Amino acid sequence: MTSPWSLLTTRGKAFALIGAVVVAAGIVLGYPDITRIGLVLVALPVLALILMPRRTPKMRVLREVDPVRLTPDERGTVDVRFTNVSGRTTPIYLAEEHLDYRLGDRPRFVLPRMVHGEEKRLRYAVRSRHRGAFQLGPVVLRQRDPFGLTFLSLQLSSRSEVLVLPRLHALGGRKVRGTSRGSEGEMPQMVALHGEDDVSIRSYRDGDELRRVHWPATAHRGELMVRQEDRPARRRALLLLDSRDSAHPGTGTRASYEWAVSAIASVARHLVSEGFVVHLLTDASLRDGTADHQIDLDAVLSALARVQPEEDSRLDRLAAAAASFTAGGVLVVAAVVADDEDALRNLAAIRQPGSRAMAFVLDPVKFGGTARRSGGRDVQAPTTTLADSGWQTVVVGPHTEIPAAWVSVSEVTGVAGWSP
């Protein structure tokens, strides 16, 4: 509970203390007039506390952010509309909007008196170098009495959100070859076997209905194949983000995790522009089930704007989830930290023969960390683990340009174990 003393301003506290001293002096010295003056000084802040209205005003607060989604370093404008919905005229308030420090300084403004139904509009700017979902609000109203002896803080609980997307990089015009094992839609060898007019055919996945099994294709391939009549031929890509909090070093915009998020976001935009169907695999998407469904670019960027490193994240769990995709043949693009060779070995095993898998391997030492779980060895051993399994890899650091890393990792030649 807020103490009455904390509600006094510096002036009010000075009045109370000086008044108490004057009262004591008047009593000791035997001067009744001085005692009365001291009582008046003490009574003024006390009366101000008693008469100060403590009721939170009935006020509606609406915010509009333009643009709705920001990019790093982009300036946004927030329009705040205050509407008096009570039957009384509001007093004058000093208003302060609470927001994350990464969006800038907290705006302060004077909210004038408003009669019933009156509306006041205020505007302030926000800008952030960091991606994320940032909260706007609540609004704290401060009111002083006419003598400036007391103040009262009231809170309007209305809140809004500003979404700052990951930093995106143009990856150039380099085309990405899809996996030879198809994806969503008809596989090339099935076209040759059955003709262009046949239904699209893909590998059987858990949950597929047995009535959709395509027996001629199954006999030809030696594995269960199913019909997929209602989907056009599309290439699929699985984007995997390593979110282990214990593995990612660095802080701020130079952290390894921020590099990884920006890289995955840039690749997502690039692949979508080439017609790929994209699946995003993170700990968050694995929990809410969205990893199993294709999502559009806006949803990918929104998810990556919110994603954060997690203490209980495990790379082997993500690798197990990714294996169900690679069994059907997808292009895999991963951003992983070379922190645990055993975990990367599990990830390397998900690549199927004839499919493509690419990895941005983040060197923890270059980002300011240490190779804790690899016994102090450098990044070469875990990277070789991926390359030996046919992954196209590129080792990156904080100063590595994402477009250059993409060009390097998307090269077909010069990678150990690559089989087109």
* Mean per-residue pLDDT over the chain, rounded: 85
pLDDT in tens, 353-392: 878 999 999 999 889 865 444 444 467 777 888 999 999 9
Residue 72 zone, left/alpha/beta (φ > 0; ψ -120 to 50; rest): beta
| pLDDT score at 4 | 81
Cα 198 versus chain centre, distance: 43
Report pLDDT for 415: 34
Buried b (16+ CB within 10 A) or exposed e, 225-256: bbbbeeeeeebbbbbbbbbbebbbbbeeeebb
Neighbours of 214 (CB within 10 A): 22
Expressed in percent and rounded to 5, the helix, strand and coil fractions of the chain are 35, 25, 40
- Give 161-214 as a 3 state SS string: EEEECCCCCCCCCCCCCCCCCCCECCCHHHHHHHCCCCCEEEECCCCCCHHHEC
Q: How far apart are CA 330 and CA 167, in angstroms?
A: 26
Angstrom distance (rounded) from CA 236 to CA 179? 9
pTM (predicted TM-score): 0.77
Name the phi and psi angles at 398, rounded to 5: -65, -25
pLDDT digits (tens, 9 = 90+) for 107-142: 999 999 999 999 999 999 999 999 999 999 999 999
The pLDDT value recorded for residue 373 is 43
Which positions of the chain have pLDDT values less than 70? Answer: 1, 174, 177-200, 207, 228-234, 328, 369-378, 412-420
Q: Are 360 and 396 in contact (CB under 8 A)?
A: yes
pLDDT for residue 1: 59
